[in-house]
Amino acid sequence: MAATEILNRVDVVKAPQVHPTPQTEKSSLIGLVREDMAKLLVERGVPERQVKMRVSQLWHWLYVRGVSEFDQMSNVSKDMREMLKEHFTIARPEIVEEQISNDGTRKWLLRFPPRGAGRPVEIETVYIPEEGRGTLCISSQVGCTLTCSFCHTGTQKLVRNLTAEEILAQLLLARDRLGDFPERDTPQGAIVPAEGRKITNIVMMGMGEPLYNFEAVKTALLIASDGDGLSLSKRRITLSTSGIVPEIYRTGEEIGVMLAISLHAVRDDLRDMLVPINKKYPLKELMDACRAYPGLSNARRITFEYVMLKDVNDSLEDARELVKLLKGIPAKINLIPFNPWPGTNYQCSDWEQIEKFADFINQAGYASPIRTPRGRDILAACGQLKSESERMRKVDRLAFEAMMIANHGED
């Protein structure tokens, strides 16, 4: 698609620049569990008899009301607000660019400040509105350690893990931009409706392998699903992994969200090539971990992602082997038409072949939706997220696309 055509079809919004306070100067309260927030407040002189109440106030303002400035906390004393401003931050990341597709998909390029001796880093977050739901695709790392051969994101090497704060900040900022927090003048204690939210589902399917950043992802998702705050149902949160088997067990036991597996092949030799982590955790180990995932049922199925690559993994024999591989696992198979990117050697399967593949799986009793391409006019296509963040010895990394995800979590 020509650049001029893209510009004709896309609204590019240069959002107001927000420059967060450097993390070396102030600690962020976002992404802290209550116990850690309480410790910081005690260190700054808050009497221990007040700490539980103060943490409850801050939690409400951060995660129910979505404020990004301490002065907006109207029921917190002025002295307390001044202390908070002096020592802490709740600022959002900088929005470098916001793009809005003609199908309603939004993509934000976000910049986080440097940590230690590093540079500022950039990641992309994507929002996909659908009838009756809205899904936010969140990144867990800058770059990726995996080198899946069909995935453009994998061509950007890992820069660093995101913190729990930075993972959560993507959700907070998206709700800001979509008007998904209650009005600032909503009375304290008023019941904030759960219905009518623009963001109903989140998926950990952006840049990076979330299970290689387990602790930060765990903290962020437990805060996102906390009933006294952001209050997203764990059935509406999906974590996608390429198959880090030990952490799959931990995810089920310690986080309890929905699971998605980037499968893409039904034989070890082919998956070794497409998803090289398979060499460490082959299909049998991966399927055993899936079968042992807590709470599996027809209402809590594992989603298997399967990108359709022409003459590589799209034959009816592949479909037969896929059904055998998943036997006994409550599952849904998302078929993803491949989105080519510059330099790739793969092609998307013919549409007729994708439909034949889907029909075979459906007849075997598995739901197999073919993912509708979304946000292509803003280069927001599945598996192609890549940012401009640089490693210290690298220069001129180009940003291309952001990941698009749909059909995950409870409807």
| Catalytic residue numbers, as ranges | 124, 382
Angle of helix 48-63 relative to helix 34-43, nearest 10 degrees, comes to: 130
Q: Residue 343: name the closest of 398, 403, 389, 302 by CA.
A: 398
Reduce the DSSP state of residue 281 to 3 states and report it: coil
CA distance 274 to 283: 13
| Residues 236 and 409: beta-carbon distance below 8 Å | yes
- Identify the burial level of 149 via C-beta atoms within 10 angstroms of its C-beta, where 0-12 means exposed, 13-18 middle and 19 or more buried: middle
Do residues 386 and 153 lie in contact, with contact meaning Cβ atoms separated by under 8 Å?
Answer: yes
- Measuring CA to CA, how many Å separate 242 from each of 6, 63, 71, 95, 271? 32, 30, 43, 29, 11
Amino acid at 311: D
Q: From the CB of residue 324, how many other CB atoms can be counted at a distance below 10 Å? A: 10
Integer CA distances (angstroms), 46 to 1, 50, 75, 326, in order:
58, 7, 16, 54
Report the run of H or E that residue 288 belongs to, with start and end.
Answer: helix 283-291
Q: How is residue 294 written in tokens?
A: 């807590």
Structure tokens at 201: 């589902």
List all residues 6 or more positions away from 195 whose beta carbon is below 8 Å from its beta carbon.
none
Reported residue count of the chain is 411
User: Residue written as tokens 């220069």?
Assistant: 395
* DSSP reduced 3-state for 201: strand
* Dist CA 321 CA 319 (whole Å): 5
**Residue 255: helix, strand or coil by DSSP?**
helix
